[in-house]
Chain A
Amino acid sequence: MSVIAPKFKFSEFVKSILDNLFWFLLIFALIGVPLVQIILFYVEMPVINGELLTPFLALTWLADPSRTLPILKAFMTTDLFRIAAFPGFGFAALLAAGTIFVERKMLAKLQLRVGPFYCGKIEGILQLMGDGLKLLSKEIIIPAKADKPIFWAAPVIFVGAAAAFVALIPVAPGWVVADVDVGLLAVFAVIGFFPIITILSAWSANSKFPFIGGIRALHQMVSFEIPLILSLLGVVILTGTLNLSEIAASQSAFPWIVFLPVGAIVFFITILAELERIPFDLPEAESEIVAGWLTEFSGMMYGLVQLGTYLKLYAFAALFVVLFLGGWNGPMIWPPFPEEIITKGIEAGPITVQIPGLPLFSQETLNGIVWFVIKTVGVIFFILLPRGVFPRIRIDMLLSLGWYKLIGMAFINIFIALGLLYAGVLGPGGML
């Protein structure tokens, strides 16, 4: 007999599942299928195997494996796939979810704790899913005298700004949501939104702790934006472009961190400050001001802010990889796609299955993704590590670090870049 649910009966459980299945099928047949057909009539359909995919055929073809892959491949070229799934939101959210779990587990190990342990049997692997369900089902409490429109909008806009940041990151050759000619400037423009959102949400909560946290966040973000922008100018000087894809492609021989280590260090420290991570977590200092500017958020609003924070973390780490560590460049480690599957098909005993449309990604793309993910995960690891090691620093030390040391070092980095450029070592028409 279970302790959690003493009146549990297995037959009732099966019956409820069957009931739900019946209603789901009924509603899907009566509403879902006609709705899908209506929507499909307005969507521009791809040409597959020399034949236009019509809505009448679409559902039939989904069941045919030799035609499913071309449909999938056609879908992968659409903007929707790029925004929602691969180089955009889905990919970033997946890495962000992995980051949250690794952070909790790794910090626990560093501090000789156990960390998430019970959820999902194996080392608490389902903890994140449990937390997500908890946040979804919790009540959203709005403070009585809060400024409601801004308070509601702030988490959504925060996630939106983080997703816009993610959209600018090139993951593999040609795989970027928004390939802007002035990509790095767009990054600066998007980063500029975060202090506004933070201070507005902090003000709208109408509570002391969020407001103090918001003011601290504003100070910190605005003063660290200057060394952030200055530290990246060295790379721009040497590559002569602001397009992030071109900057990543320019590092096929060597990454820029070899020549601009000072800029990379400055940029890394400003990343820590912009992400409000320890040792710069003054806006969220939990031992002083509860949770800083997040104090009044509850339920899924808090979840959205956390999602945005970790999307931002991924985007900053990816930006570091693109600018200093060579992006997707790396030696070829991905095995080539076996030719006989394309020419002969898969032989399984007496049956041979022909699968047209393979491979979905080219070998170069997969190799690029692997290298990009390896480097990004490494940078995220180094962003997480200080949390287990350092204490929080005072705000005057933070500001003096940002204004005196980092800006000075960023200028030194610019002079190094200019020296390399004018000496004819690097840059357009240089020796290397």
Chain B
Amino acid sequence: MADAVFLALSVITIGSAIAALELRSLIYGSIALMGTLGGIAGFFLLLDSPFVAMFQIAVYVGSIAVLILFTVMLVKRELIFKKIEDKRRKFAGIGLMLVLMVGLGSVILDSGIKSITTDEPAVDFRDIGADFLTYYWPALILMALILAGSVTGALVLARREDVGNEQRAN
């Protein structure tokens, strides 16, 4: 059962990743990208980590994909369907991908991943939280500061002084 699901997820993820690169329409490309990101969320579900899977869906499919869609829709209409064909670039890209995959694959296979036992219970998300508050607290503080800074910055940048809040013009 898990093998079949894994295979289906792999096909969805890789297929929609290729589609995201190759489709002529940018809108369909970004929908395919959503398929890829959703497939990765499915992998996380298979790995017994629904916490990460839900964040993957909420952040990547829910926010990043919306951002991409929004940007694409602001592009001129002719540009949405236009694509620059370049055979040499394509083959160079495929070659680079193969080199990267072989390199990464050999590293991962060398790292002793085969000897990992899979019977251990799934990590509870409460443990992740406890780790963040104890051992990794500097990272947590740093992230919190960066996020708070970016939210405040966004609010300040978006603020307009010239628009009042009155409904009625005098």
Contact surface of A with B, Cβ cutoff 8 Å: 147, 150, 180-182, 185-186, 188-189, 191-193, 195-196, 199-200, 203, 215, 218, 222, 225, 240, 242, 394, 396-397, 400, 403-404, 407
Contact = CB atoms under 8 A, between A and B. Distances in A.
A215 B69 CA distance: 11
A224 B93 CA distance: 40
B115 interface: no
A44 to B, nearest CB: 17
Contacts of B126: 240
Interface stretch (B5-13, B58-66, B94-102): B58-66
Interface residues of B, number: 26
Contacts of B61: 189, 192-193, 196
Contact of A189 (B34, B58, B160): B58
B54 interface: yes
Contacts of A203: 27, 73
A193 B167 CA distance: 33
| Chain B binding surface, main DSSP class | helix
B155 A404 contact: yes
Nearest to B151: A407
B57 interface: yes
B55 interface: yes
B155 A195 contact: no
Given A200-B31, A203-B27, A394-B167, A218 B70 contact: yes
B73 A186 contact: no
Contact of A196 (B50, B51, B66, B125): B66
Given A193-B61, A196-B34, A400 B165 contact: yes
B62 A189 contact: yes
Given A182-B50, A182-B51, A200-B31, A218 B66 contact: yes
A188 B53 CA distance: 12
B54 A182 contact: yes
Contact of B50 (A180, A222, A397, A400): A180
A193 B34 CA distance: 11
Contacts of A215: 73
Nearest to B62: A192
Looking at A188, A189, A394, A407, which has the most chain B CB atoms within 10 Å of its CB?
Answer: A189
Nearest to B158: A403
A191 B51 CA distance: 16
Interface in B46-86: 50-51, 54-55, 57-58, 61-63, 65-66, 69-70, 73
B113 interface: no
Contacts of B62: 188-189, 191-193, 195-196, 225
A218 B69 CA distance: 10
A185 B155 contact: no
A240 B130 CA distance: 12
A203 B69 CA distance: 10
Given A189-B62, A192-B62, A182 B165 contact: no
Nearest to A229: B58
B66 A185 contact: no
A38 B46 CA distance: 34
B163 interface: yes
A360 to B, nearest CB: 32
Nearest to A180: B50
Contacts of B167: 394, 397
9 smallest CB-CB distances across A and B, nearest first, come from A192-B62, A185-B54, A189-B57, A189-B58, A188-B58, A189-B54, A182-B50, A192-B58, A182-B54
Contacts of A240: 126
A396 B167 CA distance: 11
Given A181-B50, A185-B51, A222-B66, 14 more contacts: A182-B125, A185-B58, A192-B57, A192-B62, A192-B63, A193-B61, A196-B62, A196-B69, A200-B27, A203-B73, A222-B63, A396-B163, A404-B155, A407-B151
A228 to B, nearest CB: 12
A34 to B, nearest CB: 31
Nearest to A408: B155
A397 B165 contact: yes
